[in-house]
Amino acid sequence: MKDFEEIRRLWRVQSSEPVNIEDVFKRIDEQKNSYVNRLLLQTITIGIALLFIFTVWITATFHTWTSHLAMIIIIGSMIYYLRIQINDYRKINKTTVLFKKPDEYIAYLQSYKKSRFKLNTKTYQVYVIIISLSLCLFAIEMYYILPFWQLLIYIVLSIGWMLICQFVFMKQYNRREAQRLEEIIQALERLSNQFTQTL
């Protein structure tokens, strides 16, 4: 039978200095570079997409103002997405919440997760609405330039796409997100109970 003092003695003899400080500096650099690279990649991708859409907008001859509006909506939503990403990256590393007491930190994680869930599902909903709206606006242009049967195909495909987004993709996405959130919140609640009840 061992008592706690023997456990303490055993603890003292374990080997120390498991990692070199240079490894930490190396990781700091790597993390900084990966952060910059990811941000750069996202900006370039969105930039190319924007350039492409802008070129189409300038070169194509649209006959109705609704097509121009559709273009503005798409470009606006892409710029908005890029802004959200940049702000998110900026916020990732600098935070004072890390210095809070464990129970306060857990409470923060719970509220952060819930707000991210709300934002993600809301953003997806907005995305579906914007795409649908743009397709509807383009349909007006199509009405003037396409033969009836082609217009019909365009409308059927557009409506089909909207229905798939609304009732298949969005439902799947929301269900998956909700499940993930539930798992995380359960784990955090368990931790929270330990820190608020037993401590």
Complex with other proteins: residue 59 or 93, whichever CB lies closer: 93
Residues in the site for other proteins, rule: CB under 8 A? 1-4, 7-8, 10-11, 13-14, 16-19, 21, 23-24, 27-28, 31, 93-106, 109, 183-184, 187-188, 190-191, 194-195, 198-199
Q: Closest separation between CB of residue 97 and other proteins, Å?
A: 8
Nearest to 78 by CA among 50, 54, 57, 120: 50
Give the number of other Cβ atoms within 10 Å of residue 134's Cβ.
Answer: 20
Give the number of other Cβ atoms within 10 Å of residue 163's Cβ.
Answer: 11
Q: Closest separation between CB of residue 119 and other proteins, Å?
A: 18
Termini Cα distance of the chain: 28
Q: Closest separation between CB of residue 160 and other proteins, Å?
A: 36
With contact defined as beta carbons under 8 Å apart, do 154 and 142 qualify?
yes
> What are phi and psi for residue 100, nearest 5 degrees?
-75, 165
Q: Closest separation between CB of residue 25 and other proteins, Å?
A: 8
Complex with other proteins: residue 28 or 56, whichever CB lies closer: 28
Q: Closest separation between CB of residue 26 and other proteins, Å?
A: 9
Complex with other proteins: residue 69 or 107, whichever CB lies closer: 107
Complex with other proteins: residue 47 or 182, whichever CB lies closer: 182
Residue with tokens 């707000």: 115
Complex with other proteins: residue 10 or 48, whichever CB lies closer: 10
* HEC-encoded secondary structure of 150-178: HHHHHHHHHHHHHHHHHHHHHHHHHHHHH
